[in-house]
Structure 1
Amino acid sequence: MDDRILAKAFKALSHPNRLQMYTEILRQQSLDSKDLRGCALTDFINALNIGAPTVSHHIKELVNADLIRVERSGKFVKCYLNEGMCKQLEGFFCQVNP
């Protein structure tokens, strides 16, 4: 486990909006584990009551920290968990709190 990678992820999650966005993606993906629905940009705009440019900035930060991946279909954007990073975070918390 690389401490620099985890530190980057924790730094990205330290912002309340990004933490809420990541939690929503996590919740959606766990609800739809067979059919990955993902979260759309508009889901975050409506839930957080912030503008599209701000949401895009937060998505970029989550992508740069390898917490999520983005798929584009025309003008629509869907966000999905990066399963590898999710496992690393899970491993970290299991190691810290066995």
Structure 2
Amino acid sequence: MTPTSLFKCLADETRARLMLLIAREQELCVCELTCALGESQPKISRHLAQLRTCGLLADRRQGQWVYYRLHPELPEWVGQTLATVLQANQHWLDPDAERLDAMGNRPQRQASCC
């Protein structure tokens, strides 16, 4: 991973928001991300696939749900960059985080959206 490839992958607002929400929460399913961003499932899934192709995300399946997390082999500087951006830009992510937080805890989220 190079700085150029990282910033190219995150140059889209939807992908940047997805990455920051996942960095904030550690792991989220597609339906949680769809709810948080207020976007369609196909759009969210397309962006998640791009982030996975870039090597930024890893996924796991649990039943019918797919959960995304930061790729465990990301260089340390990428994690630090995401943490810095997240900390410095909470206000930018607040509407998404509020929609996500309004879903309740994980079991309730699964019942309400997945």
Q: Which has the higher contact order (CA 8 A, sep 6+)?
A: 2
| Structure 1: segments with no counterpart, 5+ residues | 30-37, 93-98
Partner Cα separation in structure 2 for residue 79 and residue 86 of structure 1: 18
Structure 1 residue 58 and structure 2 residue 50: aligned? no
TM-score (norm 2): 0.63
Letter in 2 for 1:82: H
User: Are the aligned partners of 1:28 and 1:39 in contact in 2 as well (CA < 8 Å)?
Assistant: yes
- Please list the CA deviations of residues 73-97 of structure 1 after superposition, one character each: whole Å capped at 9, or x if unmatched: 22201001113225142578xxxxx
Match of 1:43 among 2, 26, 32: 32
Partner Cα separation in structure 1 for residue 79 and residue 38 of structure 2: 30
Structure 1 residue 25 and structure 2 residue 25: aligned? no
- Please list the CA deviations of residues 7-33 of structure 1 after superposition, one character each: whole Å capped at 9, or x if unmatched: 22221111111101100111112xxxx
**1:72-83 pair list within 5 angstroms:** 72-83=61-72
Match of 1:7 among 4, 7, 12: 4
TM-score (norm 1): 0.72
Identical-residue share of aligned pairs (%): 22
| Structure 2: segments with no counterpart, 5+ residues | 82-114
CA RMSD of aligned residues (A): 2.1
Moved beyond 6 Å, runs of 4+: none
